[in-house]
Amino acid sequence: MYIIVFILSIIVFAYAEPGKAPLVQLNDGRTMPTIALGTWLGNSTTGRITPVGYETEQAVLWAFEAGYRHIDTAWSYHVEDQVGRAVKTVVDAYNLLHEVTTTPKLWNDAHARSAVVPALRASLAQLKLNYVDLYLMHWPLGQFANGSYDYTHYLETWRGMMDAQALNLTRSIGVSNFNKVMLENVRAHQLTEPAVLQIEWNINLQQPGLLAYCRQHNISVMGYTPFGALMDKRRADSPTHIDDPQLTKMAAKYGKNVQQILLRYAVEMGVIPIPKSITSSRIFENIDIFDFQLEDNDKRILRKFDRGYRTIPQLKWRDHPFYPFEKKADYPTTSTSTVRTDASTQQVISKGDLNDKSAKMNFRDIKI
């Protein structure tokens, strides 16, 4: 009994402590922590990994204990309910409401302007929140529940995001996987400037031009997949692996592991990394990056790892007109696309994507 009380007292103290990560100010005047816990469980050889228990809920609780105050999630991850329970547990118990940033994302099947607010309300119900701190458009392209493309322009979807903010359902709004041209288009139409751009960012995909643009226009950058494919032994095409001699030597120099070096580098480059894990030790390690700084020469070494290598190119959408990434000739693809006319509207269907369970996404229908 005494042992249990002692353990709980430590957890209460940890939760009640301020977050470990410094705050960054957004262009709308709000702030958010400079590291977030990712809650996407990833993919396996059979497709997207779905939760089988309460692993995400436990991971979020560990994250709060470790000092995280920023949780990144999405409807398509199928873990918003677990995130919501964990956030509510901690926020209610330790009055952390204004210290926690919760960032969900709008999925591709709700791109009509009138569908955005209902989609966010559905996420809020799962998250057990009245509003979120930051809501992101997950992709600039839309896709219906049957797999056919939705050609709603991303500017119309963005107007729906603005509607959600006007209703105080989210404090800040941003985008994910937009390129520079798309960001410029938002500005050209004099719409609300995104507070945040979330993109893939790691040492093999550093996107210096896009980062410079965001710095120029005061758009904060969040980086998903901060380790790229470095730790994925199945990715033989990865230009860098976690046991790279330069990386291991650098980690030993600072008394850190390679993952901590990569996360620290992201922060120093102005990127808010989103490491994901459901392992307690890794969750604690990943936030332990605010007690050292990289020397300039080490940052020069890390810059040279940039290969423009995209870990998640989402090739199944490459023929959508709003596909945001470069269409490299060496990208492998096995899907075949056909065009059909349905009520005078052309819709592109990727046969390979619809029939291949490993590539098929999970969708939901929203009644508008």
Contact predicate 325/314, CB 8 Å: yes
Per-residue b or e along 162-173, where b marks 16 or more CB atoms closer than 10 Å to that residue's CB: ebbbeeebbbbb
- For residue 163, give Cα distances in angstroms to 35, 171, 216: 28, 11, 26
Give the Å distances, CA to CA, from 204 to 307, 308, 340. 5, 6, 38
Spatial separation of the C-alpha atoms in residues 238 and 41, rounded to whole Å: 20
Annotated active-site residue in 77, 94, 309, 323: 77
Query: Are the C-beta atoms of 205 and 257 separated by less than 8 Å?
Result: no
Chain centroid to CA 172: 15
Going through the chain in order, the beta strands assigned E by DSSP cover: 23-25, 31-33, 37-38, 43-44, 47-48, 70-72, 101-103, 105-106, 132-137, 142-143, 149-150, 170-176, 196-200, 220-224, 271-273, 337-342, 345-350
Q: Is 77 marked active-site? A: yes
C-alpha 119/C-alpha 299 separation (Å) is 41
For 133, counting Cβ atoms within 10 Å of its Cβ (0-12 exposed, 13-18 middle, 19+ buried), the class is: buried
The two structure tokens encoding residue 309: 């290598």
Sign of CA dihedral 16, 56, 285, 10: positive
Is the separation of the CB atoms in 173 and 135 below 8 Å? Answer: yes
Residue 18 gets the label, from left (phi > 0), alpha (psi -120 to 50) or beta, of: beta
So which residues are the catalytic ones? 77
